[in-house]
Amino acid sequence: MKYKKYLIIIQNNTIVHCHLELVDYNGFEVMFMWMTEIENLRRELSVTPAGEICREVLFYQGVKEYYSQPPIIAKSYGTAAVMAKAKAYLYQNDLIAGSIRGIFQKDVDARIMGHAKQVYRSYGQNHFGTNSDHFAPDYQTFLGDGIGGTYRKIEVSRKLHKDAKARRFLKAAKITLDGFCGMLQNYAEEADKKAEAEKGEKKRRFLNMAADLRMLLTEKPTTFRQALQLIFLCHIAFLLQDKHAMAFGRMDQFLLPYYEKDLRQGVLTREEAVALLTSMFIKIGEHRYLGGDDTVNICIGGITPTGEDAVNPLSYCILEAVRIANIPGPNLSARIHERTPDKFLDEALKVIATGLGYPALMNDNINIPALLRHGYAREDVNDYCFVGCVENFIPGKQPPWSDGRFNVPMYFEPLLFHGKALLHPDYIGLDTGGPEALKTMKDFLKAFHRQLAYGFSEYYMFFNNENDRYQSENYAQPFLSLFCGDCIERGRDIRDGGAKYPSAHGAGCMGIATVADSLAAVDKLVYQEKKYTLCQLAEAIRVNYQGYEQMREDLLAAPKYGNDDDFVDRYAIWYVEEMERLVSEYRTRDGGPVYAAIASNVQNISAGREVAATPDGRRCGEALSDAASPMHGMDREGITAVVKSTTKPDFRLISCGTVLNQKLTPGLLRKDEYRKKFAALLRVYFKRGGQEMQMNCVSREMLKDAMEHPENYRSLVVRVSGFSAYFVELDPAVQLDILKRTEHGGAV
């Protein structure tokens, strides 16, 4: 393929053409052929579709003639109709077909919509309790089989399985695959139409697209573009079915053979691959039409199933594409291990430096042992990826994810108030004797453990009963099962023993730092210094420290997690071990493991609203510490102390994953020399046993927040030669200057 090679710079949303070989684009050197298409596609995407989401109407149209059939079959006709009847929408600048726009319809009859919703609901909706999404499909196998191969697999299995249930499942799977084919067919026809209306390069592109789509109806993909096309339409099909946080998984691994073959045969250039990937990633942003950003996890790097370093040229293409797409939604994760090339880490940091906040950096040396504890095969674990934000997942070998929120800091209340929770009058906890019964710190921890164990048993009971309610066959996921290892062969749904491994559940444990800081404050002020009695503390908490200002100041001055202080860090160690103690008692309904997670990124705010004042000096309703990070503004000894504190607990016990958020001043990752030093810091973090770190460079929005809440940004140090200052203490004009400048003066 020959394309005119020109390079483009975009400034203030205006495209400036430029004929140089290399240009500096957003601080990076890029060579680009197709920036125009991508930027124009971005513009097309910025128009929100008119009309309303008519998923239920399409489902109803498909299902209504099959009410006499078993629910799994009838429902599959509905699902198939959602795929086949949604309009195939192509953008003028599409390089890869697929859009959720087709599900929006104008002038839908309100009566039909109302009725369709009733029907749709009666067939069961998707949520965590039904294990319906947050899944990493086995795209590698699906690409290798193609649609034709998948049909053949279903046929073979239908001949082998005589039992009615398996045959029903396989029939349902086939019906949904027919629906998916209908969708491809629609896109092919739409591409024909577009080709007719276009000239030159665009016409050729749409003709190629139509040809690819028709070919994919029967054959397996052979080129990189065809492979991308197929997985993106799968992804769109999931979205049409109301499935979210559907991961792409290890794209740099399963797409590599297509990429390498195309390069070898001269039918693809690196730049074109980046353009195709970008044009696909940018459409993840369509999710905003549905009311918010998706979290589509994409995993790069790490090790191969056989244990070799897995970074390859495609890993870099994906990094670049995610950077150019420059939207939230493609949630990029980079797996790091001790043999990860420095160049890869450096390129990852460059992307973070743009202010995107990802890739999140994941430590293979913690996550792999964390998963191996549950008996998964070594090669499967080596091939792990993530769903949602950071949840460790074995792609295509386990049912979709589920998780919940376990609000750990809330359990100080039943401990101090005889089983009562201050903000939840209906909570009935254990009466462990109240504050007067706890004579030593050991008593305190023991009673706290009893509260947590009881609280967790209730948490689990509620989840499990809900999860159990959705009988496998009626809530079957035949389409999803096509993307999961052994389902077709076994003739069993992904939720009904079809997957190689049983379902895993993640209990999102809140507030590690709030709890560790609270325990340290109690230990220091109540038991060691005896400055206050536990009864006094309980009373102060009950009245939200009103009239107890001095006590609150003392509590705030007690050692805090994140400052490399063993006095408090040992309680973070305790917390991690305690969470593992709690979850390891339970199994999911199909016998799978319950993982602890310390990764609740935003929920610390809503969870905090449900928690009264805590012994760390936090007031009632205020945010809890976020994920596995120190309490915001309390890490005052610098980032090296944060690294040391946050690597003391044994995170191999946290099988789901943790999140350590770090805010950085913008220049730190822009200058090569500083970035190298930051990479060294990360190497230490990972060597010491850190599980995950994600970094946000201060943006204009953050600056505004920093000015309003400087206490939350205390840890931001400005690093200029010979200069000593905190970012929040700078003159506002200087802060703005630091955000704007890139290199000169080395301001960070």
Partner 1 sequence: MRLMVSNIQHFSVSDGPGIRTTVFLSGCNLRCQWCHNPETWEMGPVTLHFAGGQEEKCGFLMSISEIFEKVSGDLEFYQESGGGITVSGGEPLLQTEEVSELLSCCKKAGIHTLVDTAGALPYERFLPLLPVTDVFYYDIKAADEKRYRVYTGGSFQLVRENLLRLRAEGSEVILRLPLIPGVNTDMKSVETITALAAEAGIMEIHLLPYHRYGISKYNALGMEYPMKNKRLVSQRQMDKIRASYQEAGFLVK
Closest C-alpha to 139, from 212, 229, 243, 76: 229
Which residues lie across from 693 on neighbouring strands?
A: 361
Piece in contact with partner 1 (CB under 8 A), picked from 219-227, 323-331, 458-466, 712-720: 712-720
The pair of three-digit structure tokens given for residue 641, joined into one six-digit string: 């102390």
Residue nearer to partner 1 on the CB measure, 53 or 568: 568
Nearest-approach distance from CB 345 to partner 1, in angstroms: 13
729 binds partner 1 (CB under 8 A): yes
Nearest-approach distance from CB 734 to partner 1, in angstroms: 5
10 binds partner 1 (CB under 8 A): no
The count of residues interacting with partner 1 (CB under 8 A) is 44
Q: How far apart are CA 611 and CA 150, in angstroms?
A: 51
Among 36, 404, 683, 705, binds partner 1 (CB under 8 A): 683
Piece in contact with partner 1 (CB under 8 A), picked from 5-13, 37-45, 209-217, 682-690: 682-690
Three-state DSSP class for residue 303: strand
Piece in contact with partner 1 (CB under 8 A), picked from 14-22, 442-450, 497-505, 737-745: 737-745
> CB–CB of 660/694 below 8 Å?
yes
Among 104, 710, 739, 742, binds partner 1 (CB under 8 A): 710
Among 520, 641, 653, 695, binds partner 1 (CB under 8 A): 641
Among 546, 638, 699, 736, binds partner 1 (CB under 8 A): 638
Q: Exposed/middle/buried for 594, CB within 10 Å: 0-12, 13-18, 19+?
A: buried
745 binds partner 1 (CB under 8 A): yes
Residue nearer to partner 1 on the CB measure, 196 or 338: 338
Residue nearer to partner 1 on the CB measure, 372 or 734: 734
Residue nearer to partner 1 on the CB measure, 374 or 683: 683
Piece in contact with partner 1 (CB under 8 A), picked from 12-20, 118-126, 373-381, 707-715: 707-715
Residue nearer to partner 1 on the CB measure, 15 or 725: 725
Which residues neighbour 530 within 8 Å (Cβ) at sequence distance 6 or greater? none
557 binds partner 1 (CB under 8 A): no
637 binds partner 1 (CB under 8 A): yes
Residue nearer to partner 1 on the CB measure, 20 or 725: 725
Piece in contact with partner 1 (CB under 8 A), picked from 30-38, 191-199, 328-336, 637-645: 637-645
556 binds partner 1 (CB under 8 A): no
Nearest-approach distance from CB 224 to partner 1, in angstroms: 38
Among 160, 423, 602, 680, binds partner 1 (CB under 8 A): 680
Among 684, 689, 696, 705, binds partner 1 (CB under 8 A): 684
746 binds partner 1 (CB under 8 A): yes
Q: Give, to the nearest 10 degrees, the angle between helix 139-160 and helix 224-240.
A: 70
49 binds partner 1 (CB under 8 A): no
Residue nearer to partner 1 on the CB measure, 366 or 594: 366
Q: Exposed/middle/buried for 56, CB within 10 Å: 0-12, 13-18, 19+?
A: buried
Nearest-approach distance from CB 729 to partner 1, in angstroms: 5
Identity (one letter) of the amino acid at 216? L
Residue nearer to partner 1 on the CB measure, 585 or 729: 729
678 binds partner 1 (CB under 8 A): yes
The pair of three-digit structure tokens given for residue 166, joined into one six-digit string: 């398996």
Residue nearer to partner 1 on the CB measure, 217 or 730: 730
Identity (one letter) of the amino acid at 253? Q
337 binds partner 1 (CB under 8 A): no
Identity (one letter) of the amino acid at 537? L
**Given phi > 0 = left and psi -120 to 50 = alpha, else beta, which region is 391?**
beta
Which residue is listed with tokens 């990937």?
277
Three-state DSSP class for residue 552: helix
Per residue, what are the HEC states of 42-102? HHHHCCCCCCEECHHHHHHHHHHHHCCCCHHHHHHHHHHHHHHHCCCCCCCCCCCCCCCHH
Residue 153 to residues 156, 480, 700: CA-CA distances in angstroms? Answer: 5, 15, 53
Which residues lie across from 505 on neighbouring strands?
A: 402, 594
Residue nearer to partner 1 on the CB measure, 520 or 748: 748
Q: How far apart are CA 472 and CA 71, in angstroms?
A: 11
Residue 462 to residues 49, 458, 468, 476, 710: CA-CA distances in angstroms? Answer: 39, 6, 10, 21, 40
111 binds partner 1 (CB under 8 A): no
Residue nearer to partner 1 on the CB measure, 142 or 713: 713
Q: Count Cβ atoms below 10 Å from residue 471 Cβ, excluding itself.
A: 12
Three-state DSSP class for residue 5: coil
718 binds partner 1 (CB under 8 A): yes
Q: How far apart are CA 708 and CA 174, in angstroms?
A: 57
Gap between the terminal Cα atoms of the chain: 44
Q: Count Cβ atoms below 10 Å from residue 155 Cβ, excluding itself.
A: 13
Nearest-approach distance from CB 691 to partner 1, in angstroms: 18
Nearest-approach distance from CB 361 to partner 1, in angstroms: 16
Q: Are strands 104-105 and 52-53 parallel, antiparallel or unpaired?
A: antiparallel
Residues in contact with partner 1 by CB under 8 A are: 564, 637-641, 643-644, 668, 673-674, 676-678, 680-681, 683-684, 687-688, 707, 710-711, 717-726, 728-731, 734, 738, 744-748
